[in-house]
Amino acid sequence: MFSLQSFYRVLVIFLLNERGLTGYEIISSIGERVGKKPSNGKIYPFLNKLEDLGVVRLSKEDEDGRCRGTYYLTDKGRKLHEDLVHRLKNIFLPYLTNSPSS
């Protein structure tokens, strides 16, 4: 069965392919697109796992006395994004075209 968490995970990769984002920005962007923000407990452990796997890197910066972390895709992450795009196109494109029914 389809899990919303799986969808969030794919969406994280797609969002980070556009630009580096903080965890808060990722959660907010998902909320805007899906209509419901995922919890921190769904996103941050996944980001940590992606970092451990070398898919993302976390850049920590001091901003106004607060440590702010921005996540970026690595080369490995960009390759994963390309693979996801290819797989998703193969799976869903036939269903998204406006071809007449037989």
**Would you give the end-to-end CA distance of the chain in angstroms?**
28
Q: What's the 3-state SS for 41-98?
A: HHHHHHHHHHHHCCCEEEEEEEECCEEEEEEEECHHHHHHHHHHHHHHHHHHHHHHCC
| pLDDT mean for each 10 residues of the chain (102 residues) | 77 96 96 91 94 95 80 97 92 76 52
Length of the chain: 102
* pLDDT given for residue 19 in this prediction: 96
pTM: 0.84
What structural domains does the chain harbor?
A: 4-96 (1.10.10.10)
* pLDDT given for residue 20 in this prediction: 96
* pLDDT given for residue 93 in this prediction: 84
- CA 67 to chain CA mean position, Å: 22
* pLDDT given for residue 99 in this prediction: 60
Q: At CB < 8 A and 24+ separation, what contacts does 2-9 make?
A: 4/34, 4/38, 5/38, 5/42, 7/34, 8/34, 8/38, 8/42, 8/43, 8/46, 9/46
